[in-house]
Chain A
Amino acid sequence: MKRGLLWLGAVLVLAALEPNLRGLIGAYNYQILVLIGINIILAVSLNLINGFTGQFSIGHAGFYAVGAYTSAALVRYAGPSVRVLISSLPTIAQDAVLLLMGLLGAALVAGLAGLAVGIPSLRLRGDYLAIVTLGFGEIIRVLILNIDAIGGARGFSGIPQLSNFFWVYLFVLITIATVHNLVDSSYGRAFVSIRDDEIAAEAMGVDTTRFKVLSFVISSMFAGIAGGLFGHFTMYLHPNSFTFVASFYVIIMIVIGGLGSIEGAVLGAVVFTVVLEMFRGFGAFRLINFSVLLVLIMIYRPEGLLGSWTLIKRRRKAGAT
C-alpha cells in the first residue's frame, strides 16, 4: 500500500513538473536534465552487469543503439497506422501509446541482442570478456550503419518527439526500483556471489551461466529503453553517437560514482553529465580537462566518489534484522 502511494506521488510530481519545467529553468537546462535521466538509466543498468555481477562489459552502447533505432523505426513506420487505430484518444494519450509501443519494442529487441551477445561471450573472463563485448558493440554499430531503411550513414531523422522529462524520469524510477528489487532478492545474492568468486559460486551450486546471462539481458533491456527515450527526444539518430566511446562513457559514470551501488551509478551519471556540460565553457580544452580529471580520480580515488559508503548502509540494514 505504502509502495503504491509512493509511486502515485512520484508520477504526480513528475506530471506536474513536465509542462512547467521549461519555463522555470530554460530549454537548455531542461535538455540537460533529460540527458542526465537517460544517462542514469544507462549507468544503473550497466552497473547491474559490471558492478553487481562483476562481468566487465564494454558493449553497452550497442544495446543502447539497438533500442534507439528499434523504437524509432517502430514509431516511424508503424506509428501512423497505430495512430489511426487509437484516433479516438486525445493526442497526449496517442503519443504515450506510441512511445510505450516503441519502448516495448526497444526493450525486447535489445534484450534479444543481449541474449545473442551474452550467451557466447559470458564463457570468457575478465579482459577477454571486455574485449569481446567491445567487438560486438562495434559490429552492431557497423550493421546499423549499413541498413538504409533506418538512415544508415546519413542518420535517421524525422523521429517524432515523444519522450520528455516526465517519461524519462518515470523510467529512471522504474529502472532504479527494478534493479534495487533484483539486487535485494535471491537473484541479487547470486549475482554478487558470482562477482565475488565465480568458481566458488559454481562450486556451491549456483548456475553461474544462467545468472550471468540473466543480468546481461536485463541490463541490455534497460539500455534499450534508454535508447528509445533518447531517440524520441533528439529526433535524430546517427551511428556515430553509439561508438565504443559511448560505452566508455557509461563505464566512466559507474566507476566515478562507485561500482556496485545503485546510488553510485546515479551519482556518477549526474556528475559525469554535469561536469562534461560545464566544461563546454573551456571550449577546446573541454575533453582535455575531463580526461585529466578522470585519470586523477582513478589514481587517487579509484573506488569512486561514494566508494564504500553504501556498503556501510547495507551492513547496517543487515545488522538491524
Chain B
Amino acid sequence: METFLQQLVNGISQGSAYALIALGYTMVYGVLKLINFAHGDVYMFGAFMGFYIANSSWFQATMGSSVLSGVVVLLGAMVLASMLGILIERFAYRPGRSPSPGTLSFWFGILGAGFGYLLGQTPGAVAAGAFVGIMIGVVLEKWGLRPRAQSSSLKILIIAIGVSFFLENGGQQVFGADPKFFPQIIPTKVLDVAGLSLDSQKLTVLGVAIVLMVLLNVIVNYTRTGRAMRAVSFNLDAAKLMGINTDRIIAFTFGLGSALAGAGGILVSLMYPKIDPLMGILPGLKAFVAAVLGGIGNITGAMLGGLIIGLAEVMAVGYGQSTYRDAIAFVILVLILLIKPTGIMGKGMVEKV
C-alpha cells in the first residue's frame, strides 16, 4: 500500500510536468486551431535559458541557492521563451495568413549566420553572414516574392514541423548535443511523511504549476485581453470585425503559451536535471495528448489530462513493463479520440454543412 501511495506521488509529479506544457498547447490550439509541434521545443529552450542564466557568472556571484534565485531563473526563462514564441509566430506562422514583410530577411539572415559560422568560426563571420542573408531577403522581397496567404491547416502543420526540426537541430548546434546537468538552485530536502518519501523540490514544482494555472485562468477569463483571446478562438473573422487586432492577440497568446512552456522547462529540469536539445519531442507530444484528453481549448482540462497521463505512465512502469511507457500516452490518445474526441471537459462539436 505504501508503495502504491508512493507511486501515486510519483505520478502526480510527472503529471504536473506534462500539465504545464499542455497548457500552452491548448491555448494556442484554441485560438489558432494549430497544433504547434514546436511547442515542445520552446519548453526545451526555456530549460536551456534557465541553465545559462543559472550558470552565468553574474548569477553565481549574486545569488545563492534560495527561493529568490529560483524565481529569477524561472522568470528569466519565461520571458526568453515567450520572446521565442512571439518570434516564431511572427516569422513562421503569420506568413501563412498574411503577407508579412521581413520574413525572408529573417530566415535568410539565419541561414547566412549559419554559413558564416561554417566558413569562419568567429563572431564576425557569423554577423557578416547574417548581414548578407538579410540583404538577400530584402532584395527578394523587393522583387515581389510574397507569402501565399492561403490558409490550409496542412500547410501550417508542416511549417510547425519545420520549425520544430529547426529548433531541435539548431539547439544541437548552438547548445551542443550532449546532455547537460541542470544546477540544483532550489535546495532539495527529502521529507519522510507517513512512510512516503516526499521531495520538497517536487512539492514546490507542483505548487508553482498550480499557481501558474490559476494565473492563466484569471488572465483568460477576467481580463479584456483574455476576452479578446476567447473571441478570436471562437471566430477569427468576427473578432476582426469587432475591431479586435487579431494579429496582436494571436501574438500575445503565443507569448503567454510559450512563457508557460518555458516555465515547464525550468520546473521539469529541477526535478529531472538532465537537459538536452531533443528533450522536448516526446514530452511535447505527450503534453499534446494531455491537452486533447482534457478537451482541447480547455485550460483545466489540460491540467487534468497531464495528471492523468503522468499517473498512467508511472503506474504502467511500476506495475508493468517499462518499455511500454511511451505507448501509454498514445493508447490513451487513441481511446479518447475514439470514445469522446472532445475530451473530458470539452463540449460537443456540431459540424455545419
Residues in chain A within 8 A of chain B (CB atoms): 56, 120-121, 123-128, 130-132, 134-136, 138-139, 142-143, 145-146, 153, 199, 244, 248, 251-252, 255, 259, 282-292, 294-296, 298-303
Shortest beta-carbon distance from A248 to chain B in Å = 5
- Asked, given contacts A295-B107, A298-B158, A298-B159, whether A284 binds B173 with beta carbons under 8 Å apart, the answer is yes
Residue picked from B150, B155, B288, most chain A C-beta under 10 Å: B155
A298 and B160 alpha carbons, distance in the complex (Å) = 10
Give the A-B pair count, Cβ closer than 8 A. 135
A285 and B169 alpha carbons, distance in the complex (Å) = 8
Chain B residues within 8 Å of A138, by CB: 285, 326-327, 330
Chain A residues within 8 Å of B353, by CB: 199
User: Is B118 a contact partner of A282 (Cβ separation < 8 A)?
Assistant: yes
Shortest beta-carbon distance from B113 to chain A in Å = 10
Contact of B107 among A244, A286, A296 (CB under 8 A): A296
User: Is A127 a contact partner of B327 (Cβ separation < 8 A)?
Assistant: no
Contact of A132 among B148, B168, B337 (CB under 8 A): B337
User: Is A127 a contact partner of B35 (Cβ separation < 8 A)?
Assistant: yes
User: Is B166 a contact partner of A132 (Cβ separation < 8 A)?
Assistant: no
Is B163 interfacial (CB 8 A cutoff)? yes
Residues in chain B within 8 A of chain A (CB atoms): 33, 35, 92, 95-96, 103-104, 107, 110-111, 114, 118, 145-148, 150, 152-155, 157-159, 161-166, 168-170, 172-173, 285, 288-289, 292, 321, 323-324, 326-327, 330-331, 333-334, 337-338, 341, 351, 353
User: Is A284 a contact partner of B172 (Cβ separation < 8 A)?
Assistant: yes
Chain B residues within 8 Å of A125, by CB: 351
A285 and B173 alpha carbons, distance in the complex (Å) = 8
User: Is A142 a contact partner of B162 (Cβ separation < 8 A)?
Assistant: no
Contact of B327 among A139, A294, A299 (CB under 8 A): A139
Nearest B residue (CB) for A153 = B323
Contact of A289 among B111, B147, B168, B323 (CB under 8 A): B111
A4 and B103 alpha carbons, distance in the complex (Å) = 52
Shortest beta-carbon distance from B258 to chain A in Å = 18
Chain A residues within 8 Å of B169, by CB: 284, 286-288, 291
A124 and B155 alpha carbons, distance in the complex (Å) = 20
A288 and B288 alpha carbons, distance in the complex (Å) = 24
User: Is A299 a contact partner of B333 (Cβ separation < 8 A)?
Assistant: no
User: Is A131 a contact partner of B165 (Cβ separation < 8 A)?
Assistant: no
Nearest B residue (CB) for A288 = B169
* Residues of B contacting A: mostly: helix
User: Is A146 a contact partner of B323 (Cβ separation < 8 A)?
Assistant: yes
User: Is B323 a contact partner of A302 (Cβ separation < 8 A)?
Assistant: no
A283 and B104 alpha carbons, distance in the complex (Å) = 24
Residue picked from B104, B114, B146, B158, most chain A C-beta under 10 Å: B158
Shortest beta-carbon distance from A180 to chain B in Å = 23
Chain B residues within 8 Å of A299, by CB: 92, 95-96, 103, 147-148, 159
Name 6 extra pairs, CB < 8 A, besides A56-B154, A146-B321: A283-B118, A286-B169, A287-B165, A294-B165, A295-B166, A298-B158
Nearest B residue (CB) for A126 = B153
Chain A residues within 8 Å of B173, by CB: 284-285, 288
User: Is B324 a contact partner of A289 (Cβ separation < 8 A)?
Assistant: no
User: Is B170 a contact partner of A288 (Cβ separation < 8 A)?
Assistant: yes
Chain A residues within 8 Å of B337, by CB: 121, 124, 128, 131-132, 135
- Asked, given contacts A288-B170, A289-B114, whether A300 binds B145 with beta carbons under 8 Å apart, the answer is yes
Chain A residues within 8 Å of B161, by CB: 248, 251-252, 294
A211 and B331 alpha carbons, distance in the complex (Å) = 26
Nearest A residue (CB) for B151 = A302
A127 and B25 alpha carbons, distance in the complex (Å) = 14
- Asked, given contacts A127-B35, A288-B114, whether A295 binds B330 with beta carbons under 8 Å apart, the answer is no
Shortest beta-carbon distance from A244 to chain B in Å = 8
Q: List 30 A-B contacts (CB under 8 A).
A: A56-B154, A121-B338, A127-B35, A130-B157, A132-B338, A138-B285, A139-B334, A142-B326, A142-B327, A143-B327, A244-B285, A252-B158, A284-B173, A286-B169, A288-B169, A291-B162, A291-B165, A291-B169, A292-B162, A294-B158, A294-B161, A298-B96, A298-B155, A298-B158, A298-B159, A299-B95, A299-B96, A299-B103, A302-B150, A302-B155
Residue picked from B92, B150, B289, B327, most chain A C-beta under 10 Å: B327
- Asked, given contacts A284-B173, A294-B165, whether A135 binds B159 with beta carbons under 8 Å apart, the answer is no
Shortest beta-carbon distance from A89 to chain B in Å = 41
A24 and B330 alpha carbons, distance in the complex (Å) = 47
User: Is A292 a contact partner of B107 (Cβ separation < 8 A)?
Assistant: yes
Residue picked from A135, A252, A294, most chain B C-beta under 10 Å: A135
Chain B residues within 8 Å of A303, by CB: 148, 150
Chain A residues within 8 Å of B333, by CB: 131-132, 135
Shortest beta-carbon distance from A113 to chain B in Å = 14
Chain A residues within 8 Å of B159, by CB: 294-295, 298-299
User: Is A131 a contact partner of B292 (Cβ separation < 8 A)?
Assistant: yes
A56 and B285 alpha carbons, distance in the complex (Å) = 18
Chain B residues within 8 Å of A255, by CB: 154-155, 158
Contact of A291 among B150, B154, B166, B323 (CB under 8 A): B166
A88 and B223 alpha carbons, distance in the complex (Å) = 82
A295 and B167 alpha carbons, distance in the complex (Å) = 12
A292 and B107 alpha carbons, distance in the complex (Å) = 7
Chain A residues within 8 Å of B157, by CB: 130
Shortest beta-carbon distance from A256 to chain B in Å = 9
Chain A residues within 8 Å of B150, by CB: 302-303
Nearest A residue (CB) for B335 = A135
